[in-house]
Structure 1
Amino acid sequence: MREVSSPALSEPAAGGLADSVFDTAEQSPGLIQLSRLVDGVWQPVTALQFRDEVLALAKGLLTRGVRYGDRVAVMSGTCYEWTLFDYALWAVGAIPVPVYPTSAPEQVRWILAETQAVACVVEHEDHAMTVGAVCDALPELTGIWQLDRDCVGALIEDGRGVPDALVHRQRLGVTAESIATVIYTSGTTGRPKGCLLTHGNFTAEADALLEGWGEIFRDTGGVPPATLLFLPLAHVYGRMVQVAAVRGGIRIGHHGQLTTDSLLPALESFRPTFLHAVPYVFEKIYQRARERAEEAGKAELFDLAAETAVAWAAARERKALGHGPGPNTALRVRHAAYDRLVYQRLRAVLGGRVRNIMSGGSTLGRELGLFFAGAGMTVYEGYGLTETTAAVTANPPGRPKFGTVGRPVPGAAVAIADDGEVWVTGGTVFSGYLNHPRCTEAALVRGWLATGDLGELDEDGYLTITGRKKELIVTSSGKNLAPGALEERVRSHPLVAQCLVVGDDRPYVAALVTLDPQALAHWLKLRGREQLDVWGALADTELHGEIQRAVAAANTAVSRAESIRAFRLLPKEFSAEDGLLTPSLKMRRSAIQAYYAEDIEELYAP
């Protein structure tokens, strides 16, 4: 079993996550710690103001009966109040339990029942009704607090008579070994399990990133570092960004939607200096930028600029890794010209200040990573799980290998088992699953976490994820295929929203493909054609040929036995509402195959 590791931090942090709020307020009371969007304007929140709000809300929680070790659910989109509740709950030693705002009543019932939550914070009336529909089965639940009805103000008012010392007594009882949160896995292969993550897990993760990647967070052109948090706080990635920013004195703003139509104006107004994002965001930004270029009659200019960006970034990558001299004179001249014509405009879409971006959650294509780097925004891809408190590997500053997920973060180690499975260990690895000792024993082996992912380590210790063990397809001829890479290549076509490869115990590989409605509308408009309804799109010969070319291009990366021989266009995208995607937008393979069983059978009909 090959292994690679990174040296640990000099000294692990002690105490709980809320301590940093009180420490920063004492040391730098005027530091702008957060920004709140009020009537369309970002209002600063100093470290002292935030500390006072956390303390006041913590007092209110105590008056409502929340005690040390109690679990309180939070069901909301990403917002300032979520961060406030997190730190107020941590200040009294309580345990926040995130619930995705799109969760169905049965999912909510399961999480609240298993965690024995004593209260639930909800964003609005719809969430309150979802919780209310199942509260008869939740005897421990004593309160539903609604954000849009100013539950924060009501709790603060309730706690006015509580002495500060009572909160501090609770806070100082929190140790690194105390449970900080219970985050449920995405449930791609069954019922979600609650991961028990400690305060020490989060501090190890945040401090590793701040120490190892601090230079890219503070590469800001002279302005204070700031990031816009738009990742779901119900997901471990979003929570990690929150904790790292608060611990590192980095200003954060909140935005609750991932759609490009909503996100881009928020980025333009907030003007972050760096971002944490998922590949979906990069794909949509690139796609929309090219569509606008096409509409303006500048598609050829955009494509040439994209080719130059990729070539320039690849040359710089080779130089950083000691394999080449860097961009030659002609490439530098072309790059400078396109910077004025194209790249500056792309950077302006993200607020104009972003120089570095960290990507995680799923695989980012190498070409897309090179494009953004060539456009002046280097993407550092990482890899992690809920069980590892987000990133356990990441590309190092100044030496990214695009297409890989980098090297272990400080204090972590990565090994590849004989069957290709990725195993990891370190201070960020969780303590187990709530109420699932057998699953915990299966996952944690002699201090190592068996991730279930397949991967490879190169000669420099960089990890590449090649698939999931449980997703391996074995055709009837005995050919093994990890479908992820093939699916990503099909999905790289602008018209394709999703692709699911099938073929287990079948004579050949096939695929289910969904279309991006906005991209389809744009494609039709450029061809002067009328908009198609769903069934018209599925029957359109020219459209079918366009997707066939995307499949053929994807097949060039694999052998004949692994290639997609047939595909089916589906009438709608996979969605979480249909139970076909997890809340973090990962495909539930078995659910999709069951839902479209007839379509799959027709793909193999003689």
Structure 2
Amino acid sequence: MQPEPSIIDAVVNADALHPNWKREDHILARLAKNAAEHPNQIAMRERDRGIWQEYSWTDYLNAVLEFAAGLEARGVQPGDVVLVIGDNRPNLYFGMLGAACLRAIPSPAYPDAPTEEVAAQMAREDIRFAIAEDQEQVDKLLEVREGYPSLELIIYDDPRGLAGSEPEGVTGFNTIRAEGAERLFAEPGLADDLLARPSVHDVAVLMHSSGTTGAPKGIPLKHGHVLSGVRNAAAAGYFHEGEVHMAYLPIAWVGDFIFSIGAAMELRFTVNIPEAQETAMHDLREIAPTLYFASPRAWSAMLTRVQVGIAETTGIKRRLYEYFMPKAMAAERAKLDGKPGRGGLNRWLGEILIYGPLRDQLGLGRVKRAYTAGEAIGEDVFLWFRALGLNLRQFYGQTENCALAVAQKPEDISLTTVGRPFPGVEMKIDEHGEILLKGDNIFDGYFQNEKATAETLVDGWLMTGDAGQIEPDGQLVVLGRVSEVIEKADGTRFIPTYIENRLKFSPYIKDAAVVGKGRDMLIAIVCVDFQAVGQWAQEHGVAYTSYAELSQQPRIYDLIEAQIAEVNAHLPHGLSVARFVNLHKEFDPDDGEVTRTRKLKRNVIDDRYGPIIEALNAGQDQIDFKAQIVYENGQTGSLDRALRLADVKEAA
């Protein structure tokens, strides 16, 4: 029997699109190779109830194959999309690769996604099977199933609250594994067959866009895309073989799949999973990774934690810190300006007394490759970690290019650039100023969305949607989203994200939304950083009992005004922020104000805070705002808030 013409066409088209790919070169093949050549080497560790549980490459492969065999027995077929929801757990990683063995498609979701978001994802992708971390996620899926009867099977990892009392259509991960193990024993050739099924052209994972302007788009990444991206990065020295990595980022974020699965398989990483998100920073000290990625927000939070600790200590520790850190910061600032930084005895003593102990305390003592991406990082944060002895570097990527496209080299020290393209990646700027990329790490199109695909992939180039420019030395500067280029009433063009990122350089500003389309001036809605501002208030005798009360204190307004004025001093003419409000709450993904990756949903901000925006533009100094409240049960209410509205006196 001959294959259907459509299948033959698909294979031919895939080969033509990526002629350098070899069919048998896929992620499962890398796993099998690692298990064959390094059977007893530790591939993954998980802290469970304080004890580190270890999995060798043999254990890893057996878990994947057993789960795949059991999953197939339950009806999963090639092309089926399998939902995966929960925090980082070995069984969730095993489950994703088990599905890939069957040429099914794992589709991760953020663990804090509300029921309606999960239901929408399942309906868009016709999902019949789901893998969930624990009872909380199972309860969410059972609620989804009430309005989505197509969900046939829910597989849970953590048995607490579920084992022995499973609702219909719910079963344990270990039960599926046991069924698979029986099949593998009864069918001697099944293991080899499962490993032979996947192809480099199969979808390894279905990621999703952030959905800032509408429903998230599905982004299928094939085995070849992932491995190409990892190999490009390794060729640039971005990854090394045998890295020690901590998997703490959401499994629904592309970076986690690339680091914790793609690079781990290709380069035999040891992947370490913390006990819980709440213990991640504590567990980081025990893990002591060699590779560490964090967002600018996370680096900033780590620095704030250190500063709070130093402020609360006394004696010799504080005096040593206050002596050595400014000197190291000054040396790094000199390097940033192209001048030689000073080392010598001060640096040597500082390494022994402050820098080394601090790195060890943070869990960064063995880190050789430290990275940040996602948005611009504040100068003080960037320089502080470099002063501490980390060669912190920025990179640029998107889900559509496996998050691996451009990065700074070790010798590149710059706040304004994100580096040069990796080997295997082509980059150019088109006539509209948009960044275009090409390479085997670039995806082949959106999931069941030909219109969006045609708009994003043009003549083999990925239209990133980001505005940028290339410096004379070949480094890329990312200016912001092309779609966000807007004009003030006087015709002055600007990108809000550019200004917002610089406002967030301040340790006291967690989020900001800059508004000014068609207006005479720019205004900012500011969400203060509760920890940093709370520490400042404590040190300066400002009393408060809640976030809302703290945000409205007159001295806090003075503090934030000074931060905005500092940013204004470095902005182009006509782009100063003239007025602002400290919001009574943080922007919240559960309220639909930001995505799960903390990107602003501007239409929601404009609509929800419209009265505040109008009052700021009208010159009012206060507004009684009816704030919307969303309770845990999904019901909504409102609460009246009196918010101060303030000028930035130094604004031009």
Specify if TM > 0.5: yes
Could you tell me which residue of structure 1 aligns to residue 595 of structure 2? 582
Shift of 1:256: 7.1
Could you tell me which residue of structure 2 aligns to residue 239 of structure 1? 257
2:138 touches 2:154 (CA, 8 Å); kept in 1? yes
Greater relative contact order, per chain length (Cα 8 Å cut-off, separation 6+)? 1
1:215-262: per-residue Cα shift (whole Å, max 9, x none)? x646xxxxx631111111111111110110222111011237656xx3
Residues 75-86 of structure 1: pairs in structure 2 closer than 5 A: 75-86=85-96
CA distance in 2, matches of 1:225, 1:373: 21
Letter in 2 for 1:349: Q
Matched, 1:142 2:152: yes
Residues 82-231 of structure 1: pairs in structure 2 closer than 5 A: 82-149=92-159, 151-162=172-183, 163=187, 165-213=189-237, 217=240, 225-231=243-249
Match of 1:349 among 328, 346, 361: 361
Matched, 1:296 2:327: no
Shift of 1:90: 1.6
Answer with 436-445 or 363-372: which moved more.
363-372
CA distance in 2, matches of 1:603, 1:302: 42
1:13 touches 1:203 (CA, 8 Å); kept in 2? no
CA distance in 2, matches of 1:424, 1:603: 40
Matched, 1:277 2:294: yes
Shift of 1:399: 3.9
Residues 462-481 of structure 1: pairs in structure 2 closer than 5 A: 462-481=475-494
CA distance in 1, matches of 2:577, 2:73: 61
Matched, 1:412 2:425: yes
Identity of aligned residues (%): 26
2:377 touches 2:505 (CA, 8 Å); kept in 1? no
CA distance in 1, matches of 2:411, 2:197: 41
Structure 1 residues 200 and 275, CA gap change in structure 2 (3 angstroms)? same
Structure 1 residues 179 and 504, CA gap change in structure 2 (3 angstroms)? same
Q: Secondary structure at the match of 2:603?
A: helix
Match of 2:77 among 56, 64, 67: 67
Shift of 1:532: 3.9
1:213 touches 1:397 (CA, 8 Å); kept in 2? no
1:226 touches 1:250 (CA, 8 Å); kept in 2? yes
Structure 1 residues 553 and 18, CA gap change in structure 2 (3 angstroms)? same
1:261-314: per-residue Cα shift (whole Å, max 9, x none)? x32201012121221222121111111111211222577864664443344335
Shift of 1:396: 2.4
CA distance in 2, matches of 1:556, 1:304: 29
Could you tell me which residue of structure 2 aligns to residue 221 of structure 1? none
Shift of 1:402: 4.2
Structure 1 residues 594 and 337, CA gap change in structure 2 (3 angstroms)? farther
Shift of 1:144: 0.9
2:467 touches 2:481 (CA, 8 Å); kept in 1? yes
Structure 1 residues 401 and 419, CA gap change in structure 2 (3 angstroms)? same
CA distance in 1, matches of 2:188, 2:293: 35
CA distance in 1, matches of 2:581, 2:319: 31
Residues 480-519 of structure 1: pairs in structure 2 closer than 5 A: 480-519=493-532
Could you tell me which residue of structure 1 aligns to residue 628 of structure 2? none
Q: Secondary structure at the match of 1:499?
A: strand
Matched, 1:265 2:288: no
Residues 1-16 of structure 1: pairs in structure 2 closer than 5 A: 12=21, 14-15=23-24, 16=26
Shift of 1:212: 2.1
Shift of 1:450: 0.8
1:418-461: per-residue Cα shift (whole Å, max 9, x none)? 22111111111111111211111011110011111111111121
CA distance in 2, matches of 1:424, 1:311: 37
Give the TM-score, by structure 1 length: 0.91
Matched, 1:312 2:324: no
Matched, 1:368 2:378: no
Letter in 2 for 1:492: F
Structure 1 residues 226 and 10, CA gap change in structure 2 (3 angstroms)? farther
CA distance in 1, matches of 2:400, 2:349: 45
Letter in 2 for 1:526: E
CA distance in 1, matches of 2:188, 2:275: 32
Structure 1 residues 400 and 201, CA gap change in structure 2 (3 angstroms)? farther
Letter in 2 for 1:544: Y
Structure 1 residues 166 and 596, CA gap change in structure 2 (3 angstroms)? same
CA distance in 1, matches of 2:498, 2:346: 32
Give the TM-score, by structure 2 length: 0.85
1:24-50: per-residue Cα shift (whole Å, max 9, x none)? 110111211111213212232211111
CA distance in 1, matches of 2:579, 2:69: 62
Shift of 1:462: 1.0
Letter in 2 for 1:172: A
Q: Secondary structure at the match of 2:404?
A: strand
Structure 1 residues 539 and 196, CA gap change in structure 2 (3 angstroms)? closer
Answer with 179-188 or 361-370: which moved more.
361-370
1:459-501: per-residue Cα shift (whole Å, max 9, x none)? 1211111111122231111111112232222222222211111
Matched, 1:54 2:64: yes
Matched, 1:423 2:409: no
2:446 touches 2:452 (CA, 8 Å); kept in 1? yes
CA distance in 1, matches of 2:466, 2:318: 38
Letter in 1 for 2:231: D
Answer with 27-36 or 168-177: which moved more.
168-177
Match of 2:345 among 321, 324, 333: 333
1:74-116: per-residue Cα shift (whole Å, max 9, x none)? 0111222221112211222211011111112221122111211
Could you tell me which residue of structure 1 aligns to residue 470 of structure 2? 457
Structure 1 residues 138 and 532, CA gap change in structure 2 (3 angstroms)? closer
Could you tell me which residue of structure 1 aligns to residue 451 of structure 2? 438
CA distance in 2, matches of 1:427, 1:180: 15
- The alignment's C-alpha RMSD in Å is 2.3
Shift of 1:338: 2.9
Q: Secondary structure at the match of 2:108?
A: strand
Structure 1 residues 304 and 574, CA gap change in structure 2 (3 angstroms)? farther
CA distance in 1, matches of 2:131, 2:610: 39
Structure 1 residues 165 and 380, CA gap change in structure 2 (3 angstroms)? farther
Shift of 1:590: 1.7
Shift of 1:562: 0.2
CA distance in 1, matches of 2:332, 2:537: 33
Could you tell me which residue of structure 2 aligns to residue 542 of structure 1? 555
CA distance in 1, matches of 2:288, 2:71: 34
Could you tell me which residue of structure 2 aligns to residue 395 of structure 1? 408
2:530 touches 2:547 (CA, 8 Å); kept in 1? no
Structure 1 residues 138 and 346, CA gap change in structure 2 (3 angstroms)? same
Letter in 2 for 1:17: I
Matched, 1:523 2:536: yes
CA distance in 2, matches of 1:233, 1:112: 17
1:498-533: per-residue Cα shift (whole Å, max 9, x none)? 111111111101100011222232112212343343
Which 5+ residue runs of structure 1 have no aligned equivalent? 1-8, 219-223
Q: Secondary structure at the match of 2:27?
A: coil
Letter in 2 for 1:229: A
Which 5+ residue runs of structure 2 have no aligned equivalent? 1-17, 164-171, 620-652
CA distance in 1, matches of 2:151, 2:86: 18
CA distance in 2, matches of 1:101, 1:228: 18
